[in-house]
Structure formats: C-alpha cells, structure tokens
C-alpha cells in the first residue's frame, strides 16, 4: 500500500555546445532520462526505499553512478528548495513523504574535484492502496465478520487506489493498469487496465497465499502496491436453537454444554466458511448421533434436529459430522451436551435477543 515516483537524470555539465539526447532506461525503478552533453555522458541513478511510499513515510534516497566512482565527490541533496544533506561521498538522504496529493522534487548533485558535476532529480509522490477481500463461503445472516475463504471457494479482491492529483481530484480505474500476483506469480488473466476487482480460487487446505496488486497510472506518475496474506480457513459448525416464535437464534450459539428450558426443541446446525449456498444444500452430508445412536437427517431440513424427552429433565449428547459430496476437504465435527428441563422456566417474557 505504497506510493510512486519517477526518475530523471541530467548529464555532466560542459562548456561545449550541448546536444539533447533522450534515452529510455530499461529499469523498473527509472521512468526515463534526459542527457545533455556533446558526448556520451555518465549519469546518476536515484533509488528509493520504500519504492512506493505512503503519506508521512520516512523515505531513504540513495544515489549511484553505473559509470563513475562518485565516492570522492561533493554530493548535495536538495528537497523542495532546501538542502537536506551534503558532504563528500554523501550518497544517501532521508525525507518524509508529504500528504496524499503532494509532490516533492528531490535533486542531487555530485561535483568532482575537477569541478565537473552530475545531477539527477526524483519526484516523491505518496499514494496509498487499500486491498479488500472476502469470499463466497457460507456465513449465516447477521454475521458481522468477513466470509473467509476455504478450499473450494473463491476469493473476491478489490484494490482501492488513492491516487490524488495536486488539485485534489482522483484518478479513475480507466486511467490505471493493475497487475495481480499470487505468491509472486503474475495472474495475467485477471490483470490489466481498469481491473481493480478480481475473483480467484481460494488457497488449498492448510496453505497460505500472498496476493498482491500493483497499480500504475497511464502516464506512470502514480504507482502503488498492496498485498495480503490469505490463509485457507477450516470450516466449522455451530449449533443454534430454532425458536418457533423467533426462528433460528443466531445471536446465541450453544456452547459445549447448554440448558434449554423446554421439554422439546429444534436445533439448527449452521456451517461457517463452507463452499455451499445454504445449510440445507443438497451436497451437504449431515451425520447426527444422539447419545451414541445414529439419527437420520430430515430430508427437507437435514441441518435440523428435534429433541424431546422427560418434561422434567432430559439430557442428550449430540454429535454431528458434516461432510460434502464433492469437496472432500470439507470435514467439520461438533459435540454438545444439551439438557432439556421445564423445572426452571426463568423469565418467560424475556426476549431471547436481550443480553
């Protein structure tokens, strides 16, 4: 989630008549260069760390020449019209990036003992990219968290670049090219101009992927990068009471041991992060056991189980194994000790949604 920059370099000053020569440099860290010299001149290259600074980042600038030894040169760094560092062999300087929409011109000049000088300029343009993601895995209604990806699901990612011009206006997706990568490998099928939103397969079971996106404006004056480390979630199952009056009480998952003040109740098993559309998906396989005895799942609502027993006190050990007909990686288990009792009704007028 970093910013952008462009490099410019100028040649060795000379008293001879100068001839302009535009040279494109084939380096990822150098946009383009302009030489002014009557002969092939040496030049300076400025590198930046971090490569994509965010607002208020501390930025280290380093200069070198691929053709000359400048370690004995007097090097002067200038940012925004002020000298920020100077001295013999001072090949680096630090600045603080400004706010979004700001630009800072940094110039470095290296002067040799014979008075000849090299100069180069870099423009620090802070940017920021927010990288958002979720999945099409199942989560119940009112769930406040993110739907996490699991094996067999898809990840939906969206890059939101904050590329601000000095006048405060923002670049649109149509002006930006996006390069998406998984573990460093370019995802060519989902990369390209305007492709800020993508869908890709989730990581395989027990694995973790690093998903990154790099965004560059058409004129290369803005660029940024963001990444997220995404692990494959292991689906699990919770058990809820299905009230005849209120429906499934999603606000109150039953713990390992729970007491329900009824002589009969219906329990609903709700999977989290599974590769299905609903708990009653026909591809799900529910294997219920009550007090060690297998119970056939209901054909219309296989995720529900109705318990009834002694009106005074009934205890049941519920076991559930949840699998998927096609996704062999989905295997969730749960165990609960449920007590039904009408000996203590409590406040029968109290809403189950009250805390």
Per-residue pLDDT tens over the stretch 229-243: 999 999 999 999 999
Q: Is residue 31 part of a domain?
A: yes
The token pair at 165 is: 């011009």
Q: Is residue 183 part of a domain?
A: yes
Q: Read off the pLDDT of residues 71-124 as tens digits, 9 standing for 90 and up.
A: 999 999 999 889 999 999 999 999 999 999 999 999 999 999 999 999 999 999
Q: How far is it, in rounded angstroms, from Cα 51 to Cα 29?
A: 8
Q: How far is it, in rounded angstroms, from Cα 323 to Cα 333?
A: 9
Please state the pTM of the whole predicted model: 0.77
What confidence category does residue 208 fall into, taking pLDDT thresholds of 50, 70 and 90?
very high
Q: How far is it, in rounded angstroms, from Cα 158 to Cα 331?
A: 30
Cα→Cα distances 207→44, 300, 312, Å: 44, 35, 49
pLDDT score of 299: 84
Q: Read off the pLDDT of residues 59-74 as tens digits, 9 standing for 90 and up.
A: 999 999 988 899 999 9
pLDDT score of 312: 66
Domain range holding 258?
Answer: 236-340
Residue 58 burial by CB count (10 A; 0-12/13-18/19+): exposed, middle or buried? exposed
User: Using an 8 Å Cβ cutoff, are 58 and 90 in contact?
Assistant: no
Is the pLDDT score of 29 beyond 60?
Answer: no
Identify which of 76, 81, 74, 75 has the alpha carbon closest to the alpha carbon of residue 105. 81
Q: How far is it, in rounded angstroms, from Cα 254 to Cα 240?
A: 6
Same domain, 42 and 68: yes
Q: Select from 187, 212, 231 the last residue of a domain.
A: 231
- CA angle 94–99–103, rounded 5-degree value: 70
Same domain, 168 and 226: yes
- CA angle 168–169–173, rounded 5-degree value: 140
Q: How far is it, in rounded angstroms, from Cα 75 to Cα 196?
A: 42
Q: For 34-43, 47-56, 89-98, 197-206, which range has the lowest pLDDT when averaged over its residues?
A: 34-43
* CB neighbour list of residue 309: distance below 8 Å, 6 or more residues apart: 263, 316, 340
Q: Is residue 310 part of a domain?
A: yes
HEC-encoded secondary structure of 127-158: CEEEEEEEECCECCCCCCCCCCCCCCCEEEEE
Same domain, 162 and 273: no
Same domain, 136 and 160: yes
Identify which of 48, 41, 11 has the alpha carbon closest to the alpha carbon of residue 27. 48
CA 201: distance to chain centroid? 15
CATH code, domain with 215: 2.60.40.10
What confidence category does residue 298 fall into, taking pLDDT thresholds of 50, 70 and 90?
confident
Same domain, 227 and 260: no
């Amino acid at each position: 989630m970093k910013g952008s920059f462009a490099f410019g370099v100028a040649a060795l000053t000379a008293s001879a008549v100068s001839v302009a020569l535009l040279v494109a440099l084939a380096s990822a860290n150098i946009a383009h260069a302009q030489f002014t010299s009557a002969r092939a001149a040496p030049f300076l290259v400025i590198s930046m760390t971090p490569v994509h600074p965010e607002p208020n980042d501390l930025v280290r600038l380093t200069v070198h020449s691929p053709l000359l030894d400048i370690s004995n040169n007097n090097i002067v760094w200038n940012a925004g019209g002020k000298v920020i560092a100077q001295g013999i062999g001072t090949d680096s300087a630090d600045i603080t990036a400004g706010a979004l929409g700001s630009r800072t011109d940094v110039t470095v000049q290296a002067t040799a003992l014979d008075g000849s000088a090299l100069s180069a300029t870099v423009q620090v343009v802070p940017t920021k990219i927010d990288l958002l993601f979720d999945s099409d895995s199942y989560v119940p209604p009112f769930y406040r968290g993110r739907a996490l990806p699991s094996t067999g699901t898809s990840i939906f990612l969206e890059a939101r670049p904050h590329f601000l011009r000095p006048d405060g206006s923002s670049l649109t997706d149509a002006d930006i090219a996006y390069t998406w990568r998984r573990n460093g490998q370019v995802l060519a099928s989902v990369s390209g101009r305007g492709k800020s939103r993508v869908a890709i397969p989730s990581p395989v079971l027990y694995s973790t992927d690093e998903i990154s996106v790099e965004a560059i404006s058409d004129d290369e004056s803005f660029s940024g990068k963001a990444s997220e480390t995404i692990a494959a979630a292991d689906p699990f199952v919770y058990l809820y009471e299905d009230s005849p009056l209120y429906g499934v009480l999603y606000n109150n998952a039953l713990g390992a041991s729970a007491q329900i003040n009824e002589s009969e109740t219906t329990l609903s098993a709700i999977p989290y992060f599974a590769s299905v559309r609903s708990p009653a998906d026909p591809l799900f396989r529910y294997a219920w056991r009550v007090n060690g005895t297998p119970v056939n799942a209901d054909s219309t609502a296989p995720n529900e189980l109705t318990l009834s027993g002694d009106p005074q006190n009934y205890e049941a050990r519920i076991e559930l194994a949840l699998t998927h007909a096609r996704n062999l990686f989905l295997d969730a288990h749960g165990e609960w000790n449920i007590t039904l009792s009408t000996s203590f009704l409590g406040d029968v007028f109290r809403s189950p949604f009250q805390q």
